[in-house]
A and B are shown apart, each in its own frame.
Chain A
Amino acid sequence: MEERKRKSIQNPEEIEKSLQRIAHEILEKNKSGKDLVLIGIRRRGVTLAKRLSSKIKEIAGIEVPMGVLDITLYRDDLSEIASQPVLRKTEVPFSVKNKKVILIDDVLYTGRTIRAALDAIIDLGRPRFIQLAVLLDRGHRELPIRADYVGKNVPTSQREMIEVRLVEDDGIDEVIIQEV
């Protein structure tokens, strides 16, 4: 195997600061927090949604409903990937009809995951609007999709891999960039 250069590009404080800022921005754009719901994309997006939800509660004292989205059944590359992805549960325990949905994922890259997520949400009902929050935007979009809230823009080459690791899932908060 080729030698891989592994570099940590974000530490726990930076991740925390990004989320704090995103929480403030979400509340700024959606003043009262009325009809606001958070939907995280499995799996790191769910962890980030949980953190954002508790930050919003700290800042504004409002309880925002949270949902979990698995986009497996909406992927456009099922026929192309070698191993079939394992299906996990979608758990959105509220109606999205007329809600202000904040969709959350860790990394925005080609935009294909977000396209799948948008279709999945709209199949659940017709929200008032959907906004997108991501911890990192690494560029290289293949679809006309952009985020409303970005923790950090990270210029990357397509040969690099970005991995977000979070305490709840991986035991540590960090972002790693790795050349393949």
Chain B
Amino acid sequence: MPLQSKDLLTIEQLSVDEINLILDTADSMKEISTRDIKKVPTLRGKTIINLFYEPSTRTRTSFEIAGKRLSADVVNISTSSSSVVKGETLKDTGRNLQAMNPDLVVIRHSVAGAPKILADSLSASIINAGDGAHEHPTQALLDAFTIREKKGSIKGLKVAIIGDIAHSRVARSNIHALNKLGAEVVIYGPFTMIPPFIERMGVKVARSMDEAIKDMDVIMMLRIQMERQSRFLFPSLREYSIFFGLNLDRLKDAKEDVLIMHPGPINRGVEISPEVADGPYALILEQVTNGVAVRMALLYLLIGK
């Protein structure tokens, strides 16, 4: 069964079968990146445009490498040097790109729903690489892939997501993905960063850091987003790291085989201490490696036909 939509806009839209298809395909893609010649001809002649309205190193590079390893032609547009600064609307930019007949556009935008606008007005496939505080589906897929690779299965695992839940698209996509795959999700953070009625998404809100760490199979730390409102929601970084940061002392109460994850970029010493980020349980760099395989899988599934 192939993917149902021409686009990947949200995890919410995906069925469990579709998620598993993406993860299984990524599993087969991973080996290509370990070869001497890291390239297969599958997407020869396909054009992919990376349209990033927000800064990004990891995600943009990951999509670019994924496309190139499948032999697609990848074009990067960063909006600071494009006609966006001249006042062109998203829809017009999209139409102009469509006129050059790309097969797929990867978009990151600060406004939730922007990828949907593009998907509705373009015949090319659209992948959402993060839209506002809404969703970041490829991050959740690579996180699920990484957990599954380590634990064998996601069903029945206890996963904590700690940090600024309210402004995090990573949290939202991960909650959808983990719920669909049968994990039990617990969230924690300063109360100013926990959205009201978040329980409706099917998560439990922990009452203390201890509760959010104990018994967890996976702990995902979220980045404090200095560029957004985050910094007005707690008194100081020092205080945040004392009450909500993950350090070795906190980890003493964790399960022996706990996995520590972080979507990057990390703020060392704020949400995660260097000893934990560089420690044996941290999967942060494996997440990045797996990101390429997951994005190769998506490109193949969306335009490899």
10 additional A-B residue pairs with CB within 8 Å, beyond A123-B40, A124-B35 = A70-B28, A73-B42, A78-B42, A83-B2, A84-B305, A86-B21, A87-B28, A89-B27, A89-B31, A123-B35
Give B70 Cβ to nearest chain A Cβ, in Å: 8
A90–B29 Cα gap in the complex (Å)? 9
Q: Contacts A79-B305, A83-B2: A125 and B28 contacting too (C-beta < 8 A)?
A: no
Give B37 Cβ to nearest chain A Cβ, in Å: 5
A88–B24 Cα gap in the complex (Å)? 8
Give B204 Cβ to nearest chain A Cβ, in Å: 36
A84 close to B35 (CB less than 8 A): no
With a cutoff of 8 Å between Cβ atoms, the chain B residues found around residue A74 in the complex are: 40-42
Within 8 A of B (CB), among A65-107: 70, 73-74, 78-79, 81, 83-84, 86-91
B28 close to A90 (CB less than 8 A): yes
A11–B135 Cα gap in the complex (Å)? 56
Partner of B41, one of A89, A90, A119: A119
With a cutoff of 8 Å between Cβ atoms, the chain B residues found around residue A89 in the complex are: 27-28, 31
| Residue B227 at the chain A interface, CB threshold 8 Å | no
| Residue B25 at the chain A interface, CB threshold 8 Å | yes
Number of interface residues of A (CB under 8 A): 19
Number of interface residues of B (CB under 8 A): 22
The residue in chain B whose Cβ has the minimal distance to the Cβ of A92 is B31
Give B232 Cβ to nearest chain A Cβ, in Å: 46
| Residue B36 at the chain A interface, CB threshold 8 Å | yes
A70–B304 Cα gap in the complex (Å)? 16
A71–B60 Cα gap in the complex (Å)? 28
A87 close to B37 (CB less than 8 A): no
Partner of B29, one of A83, A87, A125: A87
A73 close to B305 (CB less than 8 A): no
With a cutoff of 8 Å between Cβ atoms, the chain B residues found around residue A120 in the complex are: 40
Q: Which residues of A contact B (CB under 8 A)?
A: 70, 73-74, 78-79, 81, 83-84, 86-91, 119-120, 123-125
With a cutoff of 8 Å between Cβ atoms, the chain A residues found around residue B31 in the complex are: 89-91
With a cutoff of 8 Å between Cβ atoms, the chain B residues found around residue A70 in the complex are: 28
A125 close to B41 (CB less than 8 A): no
A125 close to B36 (CB less than 8 A): yes
B40 close to A87 (CB less than 8 A): no
Q: Contacts A89-B28, A89-B31: A123 and B301 contacting too (C-beta < 8 A)?
A: no
A79–B35 Cα gap in the complex (Å)? 26
28 A-B contact pairs sorted by A residue (CB < 8 Å): A70-B28, A73-B32, A73-B40, A73-B41, A73-B42, A73-B300, A74-B40, A74-B41, A78-B42, A78-B304, A78-B305, A81-B305, A83-B2, A84-B2, A84-B301, A86-B21, A86-B24, A86-B25, A87-B28, A87-B29, A87-B297, A89-B27, A89-B31, A90-B31, A91-B31, A119-B41, A123-B40, A124-B37
A70–B42 Cα gap in the complex (Å)? 13
| Residue B95 at the chain A interface, CB threshold 8 Å | no
With a cutoff of 8 Å between Cβ atoms, the chain B residues found around residue A87 in the complex are: 24-25, 28-29, 297, 300
Which of B36, B301, B304 has most A Cβ within 10 Å?
A: B304
A88–B31 Cα gap in the complex (Å)? 11
Per-residue A-contact encoding for B6-36, CB less than 8 Å = 1, 0 else:
0000000000000001001101110110011
With a cutoff of 8 Å between Cβ atoms, the chain A residues found around residue B42 in the complex are: 73-74, 78
Within 8 A of A (CB), among B288-305: 297, 300-301, 304-305
The residue in chain A whose Cβ has the minimal distance to the Cβ of B297 is A87
Give A56 Cβ to nearest chain B Cβ, in Å: 26
The residue in chain A whose Cβ has the minimal distance to the Cβ of B300 is A87
Give A95 Cβ to nearest chain B Cβ, in Å: 9
| Residue B214 at the chain A interface, CB threshold 8 Å | no
* Those 10 A-B pairs whose CB atoms lie nearest each other, nearest first: A73-B42, A73-B40, A87-B28, A89-B28, A84-B2, A87-B25, A84-B305, A123-B37, A78-B305, A88-B28
B304 close to A84 (CB less than 8 A): yes
Give B294 Cβ to nearest chain A Cβ, in Å: 13
A155–B59 Cα gap in the complex (Å)? 54
Which of B29, B39, B300, B305 has most A Cβ within 10 Å?
A: B305
A89–B27 Cα gap in the complex (Å)? 7
A134–B208 Cα gap in the complex (Å)? 64
